[in-house]
Structure 1
Amino acid sequence: MRNKPTTTVTVYTKTNCRQCVATKRWLTQRDIEFAEVDLLANEKDLEAAKSLGYQEAPIIIVGRGTPGDEVHWSGFNPNKLTEHLSTTNIEKSN
């Protein structure tokens, strides 16, 4: 029996960003673990975000454990969050 790939969530944020706060609140209310990266703290992180084609925060990246098998988007989008992070698609860490 194969192990199910681990889902990872990374949220690229910046200060004074209402959509960033809303995204983090949505994840926290559903007990979904995520890594937060401040776009303004490190030039490399900012350039990586820009290389994805986004100009505004938050940028959400959901990885499925396989390189190239991640999805990403910009902005607080409850529909995409639900689609990619529903309880049937993500395992909660203990």
Structure 2
Amino acid sequence: MNVTLFSKPDCKQCDFTKRGFDKHGIDYVTVDVTADDSGRQKCIDLGYSSMPVVLVESGQEIVHWSGFRMDEIKALAYLEGAPQ
């Protein structure tokens, strides 16, 4: 399972999402959309204009959401068998 967090500096929801991932032991890669044009374009292509955007790729299944979503973070942790 690959988790990508698209974020930007000084974004409280981005920071909350990172803390949620860290708390639940979820491995993720962070992409700063202010410095990565392809990352910014990926978010636009997914239909988002605000950060954070989370992209989860597992096999052929792709899930994504925007904003701080503790419910989604907990569901992801459950799927990965991470501590709740």
TM-score normalised over the length of structure 1: 0.80
Higher CA-based Rg: 1
Give the percent of matched residue pairs that are identical in Structure 1 and Structure 2.
32
Q: Which residue of 2 aligns with 1:8?
A: 2
Q: Which residue of 2 aligns with 1:73?
A: 65
Superposed CA deviations along residues 38-88 of structure 1, whole A, max 9, x for unmatched, are 00112121111111110100000111122xx110010001112222x133x
Which protein has the bigger strand share?
Answer: 2
Which protein has the bigger helix share?
Answer: 2
> Any gaps of 5 or more consecutive residues in structure 2?
none
Q: Given the alignment, which residue of 41, 56, 74 partners 2:35?
A: 41
> Any gaps of 5 or more consecutive residues in structure 1?
1-6
Aligned-pair CA distance for 1:91: 5.4
TM-score normalised over the length of structure 2: 0.89
Structure 1 stretches of 4+ with a deviation exceeding 2 A read: none
Tell me the C-alpha RMSD between the 2 structures: 1.3
